[in-house]
Amino acid sequence: MARSAHAYVRGNTARFYDWLTQVDTARLPSGPPVWICGDCHSGNIGPVGGISGDIEIQIRDLDQTVIGNPAHDLIRLGLSLAMAARGSDLPGVTTAQMLEQLVDGYEAALSADGEDEKMQPPDAIRVVMKDALKRRWKHLARERLKASKPRIRPGGRFWPILKKERHAIDALFSTEAVRTLITRQCHRDADAQVEVLDAAFWVKGCSSLGNLRFAVLVRVGGELDDPYCIMDIKEAVKAVCPGYADAQMPKGHADRVVEGARKLSPHLGERMLSAQFLDRDVFVRELFPQDLKFDLDRLTQSEAGLIAGYLGGVVGRAHGRQMDASTRSRWRSELSRNWSRTLEAPSWLWTSVVELVATHEVGYLTHCRKFAVERAGS
């Protein structure tokens, strides 16, 4: 998180939710109760492969998903884009324009019935999509396993596991539910058997700290091309994101994550399964070579607004597919509440993002100082 202010925003979700508990919620629009991402920053949006072989830009991480106020996703994404602009040394007026186009893209997606019409991606996103289309198993293996051969090398991010953990993994992957999940892909034999070749504890990401996370290398029997896959077992914990108090959500944390994924990001949701693992809630998913994220650490002024509008459209489609026409119409009207005469974006969004940028700048510098002191002491 000390690498950049944008990286700090991506890794410090709790600061955003602390702000939400302190802000006067009456000034924010009250959106319809739909599944929201809960941690909707730019790094959590990107190409996602589907089991039918196609690829779409969708939300990639649903750990914090809840049934809540969709305005929270817009604010979180707006903060992420604003910090990316700051890190790219773009002028403040560009940040204002990005928020304008973020809302424009979001509302356009709502108007298009959530699915019927999709914006053309800007060049920077089109390049990532082309890369995703070219990727195969060997690219995933080199990236995740640091090897082209089917094995997990211990060391670095992969740690040895306990015997009871390996036994639990073998038991989980012997179930029909997991076998069906793996063989669901269009190019695989639905009756194929799966074999666990290797497994390791996976140290990955801020949200995984202190929780279970395993990488499992699996061979799918009968496959001639790319017979291997990498499965991700991740512990699901209580969401920090505030949901609506009267929302009817699954009680299990993993069930909540999977249900939210199916509503917000169908390509990802159809590849996920909730399970019990060593008496903990986990969800299991296969990592696809086509799954990528956008790197917005260096934005150009010409592309910043286009990217903001496009990402807003992705989130708008994710929210809009859960609403009927009348609900989408009412939500568009609510979004325009307190619209500024001098800024083509709602004042509630602008004010929220400005406050959040200020508190995250302070938090980032404090974090960097602490990091430098501890590093010097070691």
The CA-CA-CA angle for residues 286, 290, 64, to 5°, reads 60
Query: Quick check: 33 pLDDT over 90?
Result: yes
Neighbours of 52 (CB within 10 A): 11
Backbone angles phi, psi at 201, to 5 degrees: -70, 135
Residue 324 to residue 73: CA distance in whole angstroms: 19
Going by DSSP bridges, is the β-strand pair 194-202/158-159 parallel, antiparallel, or unpaired?
antiparallel
Angle between helices 92-111 and 325-335 (to 10 degrees): 160
* Rg of the chain on CA atoms, in Å: 21
Q: Which residues are within 8 A (CB) of 93 and not within 5 positions of it... i.e. 6 or more apart?
A: none
- Give the pair of three-digit tokens for residue 261: 């994924």
Residue 319 to residue 263: CA distance in whole angstroms: 8
Q: Which residues are within 8 A (CB) of 50 and not within 5 positions of it... i.e. 6 or more apart?
A: 56, 266, 267, 270
DSSP letters for 173-194: HTSHHHHHHHHTSTTS-TT--E
Instruction: Mean pLDDT check: name the lowest of 126-135, 163-172, 314-323.
Output: 126-135
Query: Quick check: 224 pLDDT over 80?
Result: no
Residue 182 to residue 7: CA distance in whole angstroms: 33
| pLDDT the model gives residue 378 | 67
Residue ranges per structural domain of the chain: 5-131+294-377, 137-287
> What does the pLDDT look like over 289-310, one tens digit per residue?
999 988 777 888 889 999 999 9
Instruction: Mean pLDDT check: name the lowest of 16-30, 109-123, 229-243, 267-281.
Output: 109-123
Query: Quick check: 371 pLDDT over 70?
Result: yes
Strand partners, 66: 36
Residue 259 to residue 262: CA distance in whole angstroms: 5
> What does the pLDDT look like over 89-129, one tens digit per residue?
888 889 999 999 999 999 999 987 545 456 788 988 999 99
Share of the chain above pLDDT 90, in %: 59
Structural contact between residues 105 and 45, judged by C-beta atoms closer than 8 angstroms: no
| pLDDT the model gives residue 367 | 81
| pLDDT the model gives residue 235 | 97
| pLDDT the model gives residue 3 | 76
Long-range residue pairs from 365-374, CB within 8 A, at least 24 positions apart, any chain: 367/1, 367/2, 367/8, 367/12, 368/2, 371/2, 372/2
Instruction: Mean pLDDT check: name the lowest of 19-23, 143-147, 224-228.
Output: 224-228
Instruction: Mean pLDDT check: name the lowest of 37-51, 66-80, 224-238, 249-263.
Output: 224-238
Q: Mean pLDDT for the chain?
A: 89
Q: Of 334, 305, 303, 304, whose CA–CA distance to 319 is shortest?
A: 334
| pLDDT the model gives residue 26 | 81
- Give the pair of three-digit tokens for residue 138: 């060997």
Q: Which residues are within 8 A (CB) of 136 and not within 5 positions of it... i.e. 6 or more apart?
A: 226, 289
Residue 123 to residue 119: CA distance in whole angstroms: 12
Structural contact between residues 75 and 353, judged by C-beta atoms closer than 8 angstroms: yes
Residue 100 to residue 111: CA distance in whole angstroms: 17
Whole-angstrom CA distances from 270 to 183, 254, 274, 284, 324 are 12, 14, 12, 11, 22
pLDDT band, very low/low/confident/very high, at 340 (cuts 50, 70, 90):
low
Q: Of 203, 233, 242, whose CA–CA distance to 14 is shortest?
A: 242
| pLDDT the model gives residue 114 | 46
